[in-house]
Amino acid sequence: MTRIQISRRRLIQGAAGAIALPSLGVLAQTPRTLRVGNQKGALSVLKGRGTLEKRLAPLGVSVTWTEFNAGPVQLEALNVGSIDFGDVGEAPPIFAQAAGAPLAYVAATVPRPAAEAVLVPKDSAIRSVADLKGKKIALNKGSNVHYFIVKLAEKAGLRYSDLSVVFLAPADARAAFEKGSIDAWVIWDPFLAAAELALGARVLADGRGVVGNRGYYFSSLPYVAKNADVLKLVVEEIDKLDQWAVANKSAYAGELATLWGLPKPVADLSVSRAAYGTGPITKAILGEQQRIADTFFELKLIPKKINLLEAAGAGVA
């Protein structure tokens, strides 16, 4: 091979390399998206502040938001691939996993037992949990309060079958409560606080000493596998907000009142009995969820036994 041929070959190889390198750079910076399903709460506050977008921008991640009125609907959206991340109570992810959703637990809040309760009308003759036997009780099917009423009844010596449970979404349940067509309503904040302050509803029992009532942040197993770095930063931002809320409860209540479209005193009451702090999923936390899942299976509320470790995502601490 002549010197001219060698030089020509090197020139061609060099040109090919120059073309290839930018292509690899483009691939490395392929844009990613985080599709958040939010209820009106902490995630909505983050949305309003825009802090999540700023934190994820260096990773080339854009954020989209879809609002939902309850956890079970969020998880249906996850199951059909419409969202990548959301917040939910204890029970909905168990129903979702039992239905085959590719659920992954990402983070958990500290327990918040006082934020859910059984309400009765202020002049109701119902004075104890035992008095709920045979009474018509409204709750949102597959929600955190579903497990709460099961354990509350058990603690009072009742079976779940002793209760006349009616499944109603929060807005419908409040209407039924106001009309007197139900005897009790099992509900969470801020609906709980709103009913106390606006209707004079009486708290028969809350979750303290009965359930933990953690909140959970979830994703899908495929999303976690490819975007662990994104989710780590999201959880950090949520916990930052939690810590700010602890030190600024009145200001936080003001933001929530605006989001909820409710009077500030309702938000103040909700915030005052909440607990704040978000951290990683642990084996102990999954154990809590496993007990809920086992209870629901025994009551035939889910069709099969499930193993919570299958929804551990990137692993547990």
Q: Which long-range contacts (CB under 8 A, 24 or more apart) does 26-29 make?
A: 29/60
Q: Is residue 222 part of a domain?
A: yes
Cβ contact 296:94 at 8 Å: yes
Same structural domain for residues 219 and 307? yes
Cβ contact 210:132 at 8 Å: no
- SS3 for 36? strand
Same structural domain for residues 106 and 38? yes
Domain hosting 100: range is 32-111+215-311
CATH number of the domain that 237 lies in? 3.40.190.10
Same structural domain for residues 161 and 291? no
Q: Which of 178, 206, 234 is the last residue of a domain?
A: 206
Distance, in Å, from the CA atom of 212 to the CA atom of 288, rounded to the nearest integer, reads: 9
What are the backbone angles phi and psi of residue 72, rounded to the nearest 5°? -55, -35
How many CA atoms lie within 13 Å of 118's alpha carbon, on the beta-carbon side? 31
Q: Is residue 281 part of a domain?
A: yes
Q: What is the pTM of this model?
A: 0.82
Distance, in Å, from the CA atom of 157 to the CA atom of 155, rounded to the nearest integer, reads: 5
Same structural domain for residues 200 and 144? yes
Same structural domain for residues 123 and 255? no
Q: Is residue 10 part of a domain?
A: no
Same structural domain for residues 172 and 158? yes
Residues of the chain with pLDDT under 50: 2-28
| Helices (H), ranges, 60-164 | 71-79, 92-98, 144-155
- Structural domain count, the chain: 2
Q: Is residue 43 part of a domain?
A: yes
Same structural domain for residues 46 and 184? no
Q: What is the pLDDT of residue 280?
A: 92
Q: What is the pLDDT of residue 10?
A: 47
Distance, in Å, from the CA atom of 131 to the CA atom of 123, rounded to the nearest integer, reads: 14
Q: Is residue 117 part of a domain?
A: yes
Question: pLDDT tens across 158-186, in order?
Answer: 999 999 999 999 999 999 999 999 999 99
Q: What is the pLDDT of residue 315?
A: 57
Query: Strand 278-280's sheet: what is its strand order?
Result: 61-67, 32-38, 85-88, 216-220, 103-109, 278-280
Q: What is the pLDDT of residue 236?
A: 96
Same structural domain for residues 101 and 121? no
Q: What is the pLDDT of residue 152?
A: 97
Same structural domain for residues 118 and 202? yes
Quick one: which of 110, 107, 52, 45 has its CA closest to 234?
Answer: 52
Q: What is the pLDDT of residue 69?
A: 77
Q: Is residue 5 part of a domain?
A: no
